Amino acid sequence: MKNAYISGTGYYYPPRVVTNQDLVDQYGIDTSDEWIQKRTGIKARHFADEGVGSAEMGHHAAKMALDNAGIKATELDMILFCTLSPDHTFPGSGVYLQARLECPGVPAMDIRNQCSGFLYGLQTAAALVKSGAAKHVLLVGAETHSAALDLTTRGRGVSSLFGDAAGAVVVSATDEDRGIQHIVLGADGRYGDVLCQKIWDITKRPFIPLDEDGNGVVSPEMMWAHMDGKLVFKNAVEKMITSLAAICWDYKMQVTDLDMVLFHQANLRINQFIQQTMGLDEAKVPSNIERCGNTTAATIPTLLAEQVEQGKVEPGMKMGMAAFGSGFTWGAAYLVW
């Protein structure tokens, strides 16, 4: 059986930076830099311009990952696109990315697992490669949150947290003793409504109410994401700790044996709490949330690509990853670089 390793990484942020103060000055939101930083660690995020969507940003990140892997898009055996902000309801953003990459015929599919999407995708990519079904899989996490945030005081509890970005990796086959060792995933759909965006209701006829002129009417409650932040915070801490511990247990390792741990970037305070609770050295837990907010499926691949670019990831390094988000869904991974 082949091993599956990450042969290339890439990332992309749209150029426009929106600071916490910009949310006050440009959008008129009743918030403050102090409130947002104290609760989340976020200082700024990137917002894509109108006309730019997840497939386009994913394309930038994918090109960088393919270049770093030294392969062409036509050599791919699968494209996996993780997002909760696809360009359209259907088809998925994976096929739009495939068209941009000019590799017709390469299978493409979307993974809709929110903040855990990248780890669900990594599990899928590793399984395809280890089984021999694929030699190279492109795995992209990309989000265009800025188009779907209630950028008013009403929506501040959610809209001050999120930003736009794309991250990508190529997962390739190798005979070397390295790569993706183990991934654990979990979900608990009983909490599906705790963090959700119900832009339409497919149980209704029609699925979006119509006004008397036949135009769709979407109320604010349907249009924008809702979150019980405290419940998400509590469960994120618990599930990221237990899944990372489970990975280490399976490999007879201490969490402190890991050389680097990449956490989903939802809230710096969540990650600091986990890092301290698990006795992890702060220097082993990099973050980018300060600069880009929560970018959902893009958090881990952007963070990884930045660490690689900065020369901080060495061959043989033991790396952990953990994520938690809407669904609830969660997971952790153990890789040897």
Active-site residue numbers? Answer: 115, 264, 294
Give the distance from CA 154 to its chain's centroid.
25
Work out how close the CB of 158 gets to ligand UT7 at its nearest, in angstroms, rounded to a whole number.
Answer: 7
The CA distances from residue 50 to 148, 246, 311, in Å, are 12, 43, 34
Closest distance of CB 134 from ligand UT7, Å: 29
Cβ proximity of 327 and 116 under 8 Å: yes
d(CA 25, CA 187): 39
Residue showing the smallest CB distance to ligand UT7 in the complex: 229
In order, the DSSP letters of 52-98 are --HHHHHHHHHHHHHHHHT--GGG-SEEEEE-SS-SSSSS-HHHHHH
The sheet carrying 260-263 orders its strands as: 179-187, 329-336, 318-325, 260-263
- Residue whose CB is less far from ligand UT7, 238 or 250: 238
In whole angstroms, the minimum distance from the beta carbon of 227 to ligand UT7 comes to: 6
* Those residues with Cβ within 8 angstroms of residue 210's Cβ, 6 or more apart along the chain or in another chain: 216, 217
**Where on the chain is the footprint of ligand UT7 (CB under 6 A)?**
31, 35-36, 39-40, 115, 156-157, 160-161, 229-230, 232-233, 236, 266-267, 270, 294, 325
Measured distance CA(210)–CA(66) in Å, rounded: 45
| Nearest distance in Å: CB 121, ligand UT7 | 16
DSSP state of 212: T
Closest to ligand UT7 by CB, 18 or 36: 36
